[in-house]
């Protein structure tokens, strides 16, 4: 018999599930929204709550940086469109920050369930703090989940995006704590010949399998 409690959650490498939803910028079809851009889809537990307000204004303050990186932002919570609009207005009035990116009103929890943002051990009624990085081909490339009581780190979200983009552009991997401007890891050799070549290369090398080169 089928187990009704099994929840399918998108994983890294999966196509981003498509959906149609109402947002603070009108109705969107997610596959159309992605269209050749990177997309960061992030959920927050509830409008008019303190941690969420710090996070959402954090995204708003750096939206131009994301735009320059061909990256669109889109938020989500299980609140109504009226709540979203009132919160956006309240934040603009009190803090002078306008959340221009669309925020999905996921009142029927359709998108939250599709993306595994509803994690009942944490909350039955509010989405956890999820961040999905989706590439211009519509593939999920990185997922973060944070609980309700810990805010995310905007610098890490930006660093992760830059790392994904650098990995694609230069066909490299990025080491622990990598920052833009730093050397990247060259993929390890797969044959003995490649290993011999690697040992003769001028890469910064601990050994043939751990070699770095400048990028950019």
Name the catalytic one among 40, 52, 128, 143: 52
* Shortest reach from residue 49's CB to ligand BEZ, in Å: 3
User: What is the per-residue burial (b if ≥16 Cβ within 10 Å, else e) of 109-139?
Assistant: eebbbbbbbbbeebeeebbbbbbbbbbeebe
C-alpha–C-alpha distance, residues 128 and 30, integer Å: 20
105 or 186: whose CB is closer to ligand BEZ? 105
Sheet holding 204-207, edge to edge: 184-185, 210-213, 204-207
Residues 117-136, one symbol each (x = binds ligand BEZ by CB under 6 A, - = not), give: ---------x----------
Contacting residue, 13, 26, 50, 181, with ligand BEZ by CB under 6 A: 50
The stretch among 45-53, 56-64, 80-88, 193-201 that binds ligand BEZ (CB under 6 A) is 45-53
- Give the residue from 177, 171, 174 showing the smallest Cα distance to 156: 177
Length of the chain: 216
* Shortest reach from residue 126's CB to ligand BEZ, in Å: 6
E strands, the chain, are 20-23, 26-29, 38-43, 71-77, 103-105, 129-134, 140-146, 184-185, 204-207, 210-213
* Shortest reach from residue 151's CB to ligand BEZ, in Å: 8
Residues 131-170 binding ligand BEZ (CB under 6 A) are 148-149
C-alpha–C-alpha distance, residues 206 and 15, integer Å: 37
How many residues lie near ligand BEZ (CB under 6 A)? 9
The stretch among 42-50, 76-84, 113-121, 180-188 that binds ligand BEZ (CB under 6 A) is 42-50
194 is catalytic: no
Contact residues for ligand BEZ (CB under 6 A)?
45-46, 49-52, 126, 148-149
Catalytic residues: 52
């Amino acid at each position: 018999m089928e187990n009704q409690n099994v929840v399918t959650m998108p994983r890294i490498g999966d196509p981003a599930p498509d959906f149609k939803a109402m947002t603070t910028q009108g109705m969107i079809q997610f596959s159309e929204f992605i269209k050749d851009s990177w997309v960061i889809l992030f959920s927050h537990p509830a409008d008019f709550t303190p941690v969420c307000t710090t996070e959402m204004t954090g995204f708003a303050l750096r939206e131009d940086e994301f735009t320059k990186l061909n990256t669109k932002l889109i938020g989500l919570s299980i609140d109504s469109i009226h709540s979203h609009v009132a919160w956006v207005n309240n934040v603009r009035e009190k803090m002078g920050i306008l959340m221009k990116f669309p925020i999905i009103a996921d009142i029927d929890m359709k998108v939250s369930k599709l993306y595994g943002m509803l994690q009942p051990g944490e909350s039955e009624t509010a989405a956890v703090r999820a961040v999905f990085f989706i590439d211009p081909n519509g593939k999920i490339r990185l997922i973060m989940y944070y609980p309700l009581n810990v805010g995310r780190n905007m610098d890490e979200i930006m660093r992760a995006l830059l790392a994904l983009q650098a990995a694609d552009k230069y066909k490299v991997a990025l080491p622990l704590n990598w920052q833009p401007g730093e050397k990247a890891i060259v993929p390890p050799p797969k044959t003995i010949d490649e290993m011999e070549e690697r040992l003769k290369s001028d890469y910064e090398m601990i050994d043939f399998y751990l070699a770095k080169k400048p990028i950019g």
